[in-house]
């Protein structure tokens, strides 16, 4: 499992159609989306917008969509890149892609633990 990359945004209907086609072509069985939550756990306007977009993606693709708390994703991957001594320019180019991978990895690990526990809590 890995992030598929990014799609250039145009118009919402075209974006959803392009995303649905890409997911179908790749044989994707579910979607993980980072949910921007405030540090205190509250959800603001951005989180509400992401929830609405997740509903649109689920409707357009017929796939399950999992929202995953993204609070620490950028900080975690930035720390790793600093430890790897990447330049500021290289960090800027890679941070979103690596944060998406970090979010996906966390979600997949949690789902694997749930599956190992027989689907409970």
Q: Is the pTM of this model over 0.85?
A: no
pLDDT in tens, 31-78: 999 999 998 999 999 999 999 999 999 999 999 999 999 887 877 777
For residue 24, the model assigns a pLDDT of: 95
For residue 94, the model assigns a pLDDT of: 78
For residue 118, the model assigns a pLDDT of: 85
Q: Which residue segments constitute the domains of the chain, with CATH numbers given?
A: 12-116 (3.30.420.140)
Q: How many Cα atoms within 13 Å fall on the side-chain side of residue 82?
A: 6
Q: Give the confidence band of 85 by pLDDT, cuts at 50, 70, 90.
A: confident
């Amino acid at each position: 499992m890995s992030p598929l990359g990014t799609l250039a945004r145009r118009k919402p209907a075209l974006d959803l159609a392009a995303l649905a086609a890409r997911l179908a072509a790749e044989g994707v069985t579910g979607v993980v989306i980072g949910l921007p939550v405030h540090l205190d756990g509250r959800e603001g306007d951005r989180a509400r917008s992401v929830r609405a977009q997740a509903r649109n993606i689920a409707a357009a693709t017929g796939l399950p969509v999992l929202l995953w708390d993204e609070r620490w994703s950028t900080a975690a991957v930035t720390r790793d890149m600093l430890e790897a001594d990447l330049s500021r320019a290289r960090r800027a180019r890679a941070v979103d892609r690596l944060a998406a991978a970090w979010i996906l990895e966390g979600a997949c690990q949690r789902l694997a633990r749930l599956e190992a526990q027989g689907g409970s809590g």
